A = this chain, B = another copy of it.
Amino acid sequence: MMHLYDYWESGNGYKVRMMLHRRGLPFERTELDILKGETRTADFLARNPNGRIPYLVLDDGTGLAESNAILWYLAEGTPWLPDEKLGRARLLQWMFFEQYSHEPFIAVLRFWNFANKLGEHSADEVTAKRAGGYAALDVMEAHLAGRAFFVGERESIADLALYAYTHVAHEGGFELGGHPAVTAWLDRIGGAPGHVPISEVRGLPAAEGDRGAGSS
């Protein structure tokens, strides 16, 4: 059975949990508390030298790091990934946008808030993070106007990747009132059959997983 090293509060971890649940793939899970340094122990660094979750160990013991690379692995050969070359590149474009232009602003402000670290950063730093986060939301808003999903005509892993931290952006102080297309898209993804909330941190037992296999 696959084994996920994860942290409940992490949107990056949630991406992988969401995908495993949506695909009905059985997995076990180990919680590593980032705030207690549990991703920086010698044991975990021996698995993932970059010291970050999520980290997924496959059935054969192979480990994979980086949330969006794990999403890709779990999506290959399924409808979560377009067949054609341009669609695949476009999907990666949005996933790299997420890690470079979205997460470092929206997720980081939420984390500073959550971990009581806002006071450790200057007003200028917080202002720059805020501006960067809204710039990302503006790019998403313009793209989603008149579109249901980020790439093509159905949900893809680009939607899951961007949903993870966008749906909790308010926990970092972002207001989505001026972003109606983003808000409608959040409702669409969050309302999909089989969707699990970020608070769902159980693994998926084999029997339960098998019931759902192939459902996506």
Using CB atoms and an 8 Å cutoff, list the residues of chain A in contact with chain B: 49-50, 52, 58, 62, 64-70, 72-73, 76-77, 85-86, 88-90, 92-93, 95-97, 99-101, 103-104, 122, 125, 138-139, 142-143
Q: State whether B92 touches A66 (Cβ < 8 A).
A: yes
Name the B residues within 8 Å of A72 (CB-CB). Answer: 88-89, 92
A-B contact pairs, 7 of them (CB 8 A): A62-B86, A66-B100, A70-B89, A72-B89, A73-B86, A73-B88, A76-B85
Name the B residues within 8 Å of A138 (CB-CB). Answer: 49
Name the B residues within 8 Å of A89 (CB-CB). Answer: 64, 69-70, 72-73, 76
Number of this chain's copies in the assembly equals 2
Closest to A12 in B: B100
Q: A99-B99, A99-B100, A100-B100 are in contact. Are A93 and B66 (CB under 8 A)?
A: yes
Q: Is the interface of A mostly helix, strand, loop or mixed?
A: helix
Name the B residues within 8 Å of A93 (CB-CB). Answer: 64-66, 69
Q: State whether A64 touches B88 (Cβ < 8 A).
A: no
Q: State whether A66 touches B142 (Cβ < 8 A).
A: no
Please measure, in the bound complex, the distance between the C-alpha atom of A89 and the C-alpha atom of B52, giving whole angstroms. 17
List 4 additional A-B contacts (Cβ < 8 Å) besides A76-B89, A92-B92: A49-B143, A66-B100, A69-B93, A99-B100
Name the B residues within 8 Å of A49 (CB-CB). Answer: 138-139, 142-143
Residue from A93, A103, A104 whose CB has the most chain B CB atoms within 10 Å = A93
Name the B residues within 8 Å of A58 (CB-CB). Answer: 86
Name the B residues within 8 Å of A50 (CB-CB). Answer: 97, 101, 139
What 8 A-B pairs are tightest by C-beta distance, nearest first? A73-B89, A69-B92, A66-B96, A69-B93, A66-B93, A99-B100, A76-B85, A49-B139
